[in-house]
Amino acid sequence: MKAKKICILGLGYIGLPTASIFATNGFEVVGVEVNQNVVDTINKGGIHIQEPGLHTLVQAAVKSGCLRATLEIESADVFIIAVPTPITENKQADLTFVRDAGHMIASVLQKDNLVILESTSPPGTCDGFLKPILEEAGLKAGIDFSLAHSPERVIPGSTVRELIQNNRVIGGINRNSAQLASQLYKVFVEGEIKLTDCTTAEMSKLMENTYRDVNIALANELAVICEKEGISAWEVIELSNLHPRVNIHQPGPGVGGHCIAVDPWFIIERYSDAAKMIELGRKHNDSMPGYVVQRLKLILENIPAPKIAVLGVSYKGNIDDVRLTPALPIIQNLKEAGIDVTIYDPHVRDFEYELFGLKDALNGVDCILLLTDHDEFKFMAPQELGKLVRNRIVFDTKNALDRELWQKAGFTVYRLGEGDPKENN
Ligand SMILES: NC(=O)c1ccc[n+]([C@@H]2O[C@H](COP(=O)([O-])OP(=O)(O)OC[C@H]3O[C@@H](n4cnc5c(N)ncnc54)[C@H](O)[C@@H]3O)[C@@H](O)[C@H]2O)c1
């Protein structure tokens, strides 16, 4: 690969690690951002998001002189777009960030450049949406410049490792575009790289997350059924998964984040008459926060003016990301019902509601509601925590706590996906 200078637009959870890895592999990398604070933080070798191994990587990249951040787009050999692709309130793809990034690139695009869209996008985005914007530069895609889609499939918490080790799908506007992008990623990717067209790459990325969403919906449905039956969904899943071709997912209080809770909507929006099961699964997962609140109210029905401590508000364990977290509608719903809620999360720094230290959050509460399976929660000492609370009740929506330990400390332990605990619990 002859490319020497790479411009990466968007220095978030995907763009920043990608930029740093290219920089530590000797490329001149310019990170383009719209957020001045992000630019300043990165240029000092700091990070504005939490991700294991990222700080060291960014420090090394900036120190080597190969990575710098800026607000202004510059001409380069390669442009990588890693901007957000959220959904609107009406569950439609919001491509304004991709559009803006496309216009920025078009303003400096030159012959023989390579443009790669990494952002997860609805089918047809590269070909039908981004290509015409880039061609406003007066250059023809596939002839004057190359265009490819290289969707990212890392898991937050292991982004740096997975960027390198995961297999990658690259779709090109033509074969040459896909091959050029593949040569670029081969610099650090250890996984297999499969080449295809842009729309197939877009759809395969969306289906990966849709597969997971629909399967989580199935697990959530099982949780509700098992509660009614008075048995444990967790045990059912463990036993069913002994079958060599069965992989039932884990239930939970809802699905959040920038990916699984969003990507299926890109398919539903475009194929609403065909994507029936996908839509049902998505809506079922979106109904889980309401279900958790309903169950919690039943658990606490005999306690006047109950106080609740929520443990964990990020959408997933051991990360700081609260985008579309199910914790938010749960807390909103509880507060609207006049219930006093305190919140503790050892990873999250910014949230819609005030965050407390662990002891302050638990002080005088009637119930601990666990919504995220951070490792910290698995190692808590319930004997000590029991001294802080008013009533020893815990509702574990992630099956994260050692039930026996908590019971020994005098807690009544409720779990999502299980009937109410027996009297001698
Ligand atoms: N976070 C993940 O784990 C993950 C995994 C797979 C795929 N993705 C996809 O990757 C894309 C990026 O996600 P993310 O989590 O990194 O988002 P992010 O919000 O963490 O980062 C995006 C950054 O882009 C910046 N930005 C917005 N418009 C810009 C512009 N025109 N020019 C330059 N910068 C701009 C924002 O300020 C922000 O810092 C999304 O499409 C997402 O669906 C994310």
Question: Is residue 50 over pLDDT 90?
Answer: no
Max CA-CA distance within the chain?
Answer: 76
Mean pLDDT calculated for residue range 263-288: 97
- Pocket lining: 406 vs ligand 1, CB cutoff 6 Å: no
73 CA → ligand 1 middle, Å: 16
Residue 375's CB: how many other CB atoms inside 10 A?
Answer: 11
Model pTM above 0.85: yes
Q: How far is the CA of 86 from the centre of ligand 1 (A)?
A: 9
Residue 84 near ligand 1, beta carbon < 6 Å: yes
For the question of residue 198 being annotated catalytic, the response is no
Ligand 1 atom, smallest distance to 48 CA: 39
Ligand 1 contact via 281 beta carbon (within 6 Å)? no
> Would you state the pLDDT for residue 4?
87
Radius of gyration of the chain (CA): 24
d(CA 294, ligand 1 centre) in Å: 34
Q: What does the pLDDT look like over 177-197, one tens digit per residue? A: 999 999 999 999 999 999 999
Please give the average per-residue pLDDT across 57-83, as a whole number: 97
Q: Is the CB of 39 under 6 A from ligand 1?
A: no
Distance CA 32, CA 27 (A): 15
Q: Which domains does the chain have, with CATH numbers?
A: 5-204 (3.40.50.720), 263-415 (3.40.50.720)
By the 8 A CB rule, do 307 and 340 touch? yes
Cα separation, 106 vs 119, in Å, equals 17
Question: Residue 52 — φ and ψ, nearest 5°?
Answer: -55, 130
- What type of residue sits at position 314? S
- Taking only the tens place, the pLDDT of each residue in 295-343 is 999 999 999 999 999 999 999 999 999 999 999 999 999 999 999 999 9
pLDDT of residue 423: 59
101 lines ligand 1 (CB under 6 A): yes
Residue 209, pLDDT above cutoff 80: yes
What percent of the chain clears pLDDT 90, i.e. is strictly above it?
96
Inform me whether the pLDDT recorded for 254 exceeds 50. Answer: yes
Q: Please report the pLDDT score of residue 424 as a whole number.
A: 46
Ligand 1 in reach of 154 Cβ (< 6 A): yes
Could you report the per-residue pLDDT of 362-389, keeping only the tens digit for each? 999 999 999 999 999 999 999 999 999 9
Active site residue 259: yes
Q: What is the mean pLDDT of the chain?
A: 96
285: its two tokens: 């997962």
Question: Is 256 within 8 Å of 315 (Cβ atoms)?
Answer: yes
Is the CB–ligand 1 distance for residue 22 below 6 Å? no
Which residues contact residue 154 at a Cβ distance below 8 angstroms, ignoring those fewer than 6 apart? 14, 17, 162, 163, 166
Q: Whose CA is nearest to atom 7 of ligand 1?
A: 152
For residue 85, the CA-to-ligand 1 centroid distance in Å is 7
Rounded Cα gap, residues 214 and 220, in angstroms: 10
Q: Which ligand 1 atom sits closest to the C-alpha of 259?
A: 43
Q: pLDDT tens digits, residue range 31-48?
A: 999 999 999 999 999 999
pLDDT digits (tens, 9 = 90+) for 389-417: 999 999 999 999 999 999 999 999 999 99
Ligand 1 centre to CA of 244 (Å) is 37
Residue 83: which region, alpha, beta or left (left: phi > 0; alpha: psi -120 to 50)?
beta
CA of 150 to the centre of ligand 1 (A): 14
Looking at the DSSP bridge assignments, the partners of residue 415 are 396
What was the pLDDT predicted at 421?
A: 87
Which of the following is catalytic: 259, 307, 316, 398? 259
From the CA of 85, give the closest atom in ligand 1: 41
pLDDT > 50? residue 255? yes
